[in-house]
């Protein structure tokens, strides 16, 4: 396997580890310390501060290309935040057994959106769809089985 691809999978799995750890911490935090939106605000503020210190703001690019990138990432950040807010509110109306299958299916929605809009950038193969379906199904099974 190409080293770039290997790094990509490694980083993706490390992201999953980060999210797995924070799911436990956030669950405890919103149960004992603060309501979800207030907690998410602090979490995102600390993330912004750390990324500022890491130099994320320094690499500004005023070219048209740079501005396009800024717009896409800003829209990505806002829609992802809408996903977080939607998830909190879904959980306040319905149990996790109802909400989780929908929310955890978002990678399948990604595949559909990529097929529709990013066909020139990425190829969706039957093997990729099968792998994604199995991962999503396994994830939903684990989320629905473990005590919340």
Partner 1 sequence: MGITFAILSAVGYAAGALFMRLGLEYTKPLRGTFISVLASFGTVFLAALILQPEALFSLSLIAVLWFAVIGSINYALGRFLSITSTNYIGIARASSVRSTSPLFTLVLALIFLGERLTLPLFVGTLLIAFGLYLLMSEG
Site membership for partner 1, residue 119 (CB under 8 A): no
**The token pair that represents 3 in the structure block:** 């080293």
We find the least distance from the C-beta atom of residue 31 to partner 1, in angstroms, to be 11
Site membership for partner 1, residue 34 (CB under 8 A): yes
Site membership for partner 1, residue 120 (CB under 8 A): no
Site membership for partner 1, residue 125 (CB under 8 A): yes
| Pairwise CA distance, residues 135 & 142, whole Å | 11
Site membership for partner 1, residue 62 (CB under 8 A): no
| Closest to 134 (Cα-Cα) out of 108, 113, 116, 114 | 108
Residue 97 phi, psi (nearest 5):
-65, -25
Site membership for partner 1, residue 15 (CB under 8 A): yes
Mind giving me the DSSP string for 54-87?
TTTTT----SHHHHHHHHHHHHHHHHHHHHHHHH
Q: What angle do helix axes 64-93 and 96-103 make, rounded to 10 degrees?
A: 160
We find the least distance from the C-beta atom of residue 18 to partner 1, in angstroms, to be 4
- Per-residue string for binding with partner 1, 63-102, x by CB under 8 A? --xx-xxxxxxxxxxxxxxxxxxxx-xxxxxxx--xx--x
Site membership for partner 1, residue 127 (CB under 8 A): yes
We find the least distance from the C-beta atom of residue 14 to partner 1, in angstroms, to be 5
We find the least distance from the C-beta atom of residue 104 to partner 1, in angstroms, to be 7
């Amino acid at each position: 396997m190409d080293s770039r691809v290997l790094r990509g999978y490694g980083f993706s799995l490390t992201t999953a580890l980060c999210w797995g750890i924070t799911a436990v911490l956030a669950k405890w935090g919103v149960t004992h310390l603060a309501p979800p939106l207030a907690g998410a605000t602090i979490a995102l503020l600390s993330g912004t501060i750390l990324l500022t210190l890491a130099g994320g703001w320094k690499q500004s690019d005023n070219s048209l290309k740079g501005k396009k990138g800024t717009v896409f990432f800003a829209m990505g950040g806002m829609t992802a935040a809408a996903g977080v807010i939607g998830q909190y509110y879904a959980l306040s109306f319905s149990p996790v057994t109802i909400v989780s299958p929908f929310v955890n299916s978002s990678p399948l929605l990604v595949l559909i959106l990529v097929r529709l809009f990013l066909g020139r950038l990425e190829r969706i193969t039957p093997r990729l769809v099968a792998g994604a379906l199995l991962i999503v199904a396994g994830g939903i099974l684990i989320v629905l089985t473990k005590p919340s």
